[in-house]
Amino acid sequence: MSNRQGDILFQLIKSLEKAEKRYFKLYIHRNSEKADLKIVKLFDLLEKQKTYDEEALLKKMGNTTKSRLANLKTHLYKEILASLRLQKSADSLDLQLNEQFDYAHILYKKGLYMQSLRIIEKAKETARENQKYYFLPQLISLEKRIEGQHITRNIHLRAEALSREANDVNYHLDKVTRLSNLSLQLFSWFVQHGHARNDDDETAIKKFLKINLPSGAHKETGFFERMYLYLSYVWYAYIRQDFLQYYRYAFKLTCLFDEQPLMKRVETAHYIRALHYLLNAHFNLRNHRGFDLTIRRLEEFAQTPRVQENDNFRIQSFIYLSQAKINRHFMQGTFSEGLQIIPSIEKNLSEYELFLDRHRILVLNYKFAMMHFGCGQFGETINYLQKILYDDSSLREDLQCYARLLHLMAHYELGNDMLMESLTKSVYRFMVKMKSLTAVEEAILKFLRRAFLLSPRSLRPELENLHATVKALENNKYQRRSFAYLDILSWIESKLSGKTMQQVVYEKYLNSKHR
């Protein structure tokens, strides 16, 4: 895996699809000199390698030295990017706008000012129609340069118009930048820490939002201002586990795209993410009907050419649909059925290995572990949790804590009494260190520390006490995240009733449908 991750050229070639490889071969034969056909040989050799092996490349490339190979690799990398740029330009508005700017700049350098200005005007119109405002400053800058050096039309009127236009664009970009910064920083806080743990976290997040939210942000009507405002509140609510507010802003976000359907193509990744947030909201609120409608909506969009023909969108859709399908099994208590979809998800995870961030992998491994735990397959639960426990990415402190707690519970279920005392102390110390020890976890750890010493007869009163303690904390806002990560009540109820955890959750699901 380190080799696959280490060589950027190898990564790039492995990311190419058949059509892209074919286009590259046509491009290189059409545009390169004979001497450059060495890079085609290098391309073919790298394409065949399973993992990057430089020694094998040096042998098969003949009398090539390491420095010569490095130069060939750099050249090949640039040529692949150039061929991709040509191939993808028809499908990418960003590439088209950059191309128009390049043409305008070339014409300006040639002294063909009026032709340059016509292209600039057309590019500005396209950028505005698609709300690509961040392209406008460079276009306006070039236009001002031309107007400032060459009298092409009524300079007084043009100067006034360009000045107003530049100021309007700067104002718009300033609001978008500040709101996008806010949403990114809130997202970063969650990835690092998870949900708010206590009053200090809650106060800190509220203060952060108040300081960094631009004045008048709620009055803005532009698409991107509203999108980043809603995203900021999505993360703000999610961190605080205010799932009603989370739902409201996730819903507003999807409605924003419905109001302006063109933006589903312009900002495809954000639209996919908006549906993902709405799915999460329905999951946390146990809104089964809304969840089913939204997952169908995401499934349908994932099959559109826009998504299928773009690696990033296709992989993003796969990750979010995988999480949603697993969450549906959690809601319905159909853990055994859920196990059947894990192999296909893992196969795709292996295929997309180069393109996935560690955070997504950690989340999916935790969900796989929970699925096995719900089915009573505790050995497999431990196997998946170890992938989290041995991860050194320093992401999701909350996930690290609950992975350790679930790991301890799995060992308890397996009857590994010899490990329980040391593991319980270890989990307790870790959660205290991470400031993640709430009353719910404390009650669970206290029970597990004593449970393996109790006789079956003495165990039931302890379980009943644990159930009463945990049940009383169910609606406490700082205890909610414990229930989000571990369905501890269903686990205790399965012990008390003699049913499987799967049966308990399934019965709750059936009862909720009849309300």
pLDDT digits (tens, 9 = 90+) for 446-478: 999 988 888 888 999 999 999 999 999 988 877
Task: Report the pLDDT averaged over residues 487-491.
Answer: 94
228 pLDDT more than 60:
yes
Handedness of CA 460, 463, 468, 469 (dihedral sign): positive
| pLDDT band (50, 70, 90) for residue 4 | very low
Average pLDDT across the chain, whole number: 90
Instruction: Quickly list DSSP for 193-236.
Output: H-S--SHHHHHHHHHHHHHHSPTTGGG--SHHHHHHHHHHHHHH
Q: What is the pLDDT of residue 475?
A: 84
119 pLDDT more than 80:
yes
- Give the whole-angstrom CA distance, residue 492 versus residue 81: 56
pLDDT digits (tens, 9 = 90+) for 49-75: 988 999 889 888 887 888 999 999 999
User: Exposed (0-12), middle (13-18) or buried (19+): which is 436, by Cβ within 10 Å?
Assistant: buried
Locate the domains of the chain by residue range: 2-90, 92-153
Q: What is the pLDDT of residue 158?
A: 76
- DSSP, res 50: S
Tokens read off for 34: 């004979």
235 pLDDT more than 70:
yes
pLDDT digits (tens, 9 = 90+) for 280-302: 999 999 999 999 999 999 999 99
**Percentage of the chain modeled with pLDDT above 90:** 64
Task: Report the pLDDT averaged over residues 9-14.
Answer: 91
- Give the whole-angstrom CA distance, residue 342 versus residue 350: 12
Residue, of 146 and 185, whose pLDDT is higher: 185
423 pLDDT more than 60:
yes
Task: Report the pLDDT averaged over residues 190-209.
Answer: 87
Residue, of 75 and 148, whose pLDDT is higher: 75
- Give the whole-angstrom CA distance, residue 250 versus residue 255: 9
Q: What is the pLDDT of residue 393?
A: 66
Task: Report the pLDDT averaged over residues 476-483.
Answer: 81
- Give the whole-angstrom CA distance, residue 412 versus residue 301: 43
Tokens 């895996």 sit at which residue? Answer: 1
192 pLDDT more than 90:
no
Tokens read off for 129: 């129609």
Instruction: Encode 306-339: b = buried (16+ Cβ within 10 Å), e = exposed.
Output: bbeebeebbbbbbbbbbbbbbbbbbbbbbbeebb
| pLDDT band (50, 70, 90) for residue 155 | low
CA-based radius of gyration for the chain: 28
**Percentage of the chain modeled with pLDDT above 70:** 96
pTM here is: 0.84
Q: What is the pLDDT of residue 162?
A: 86
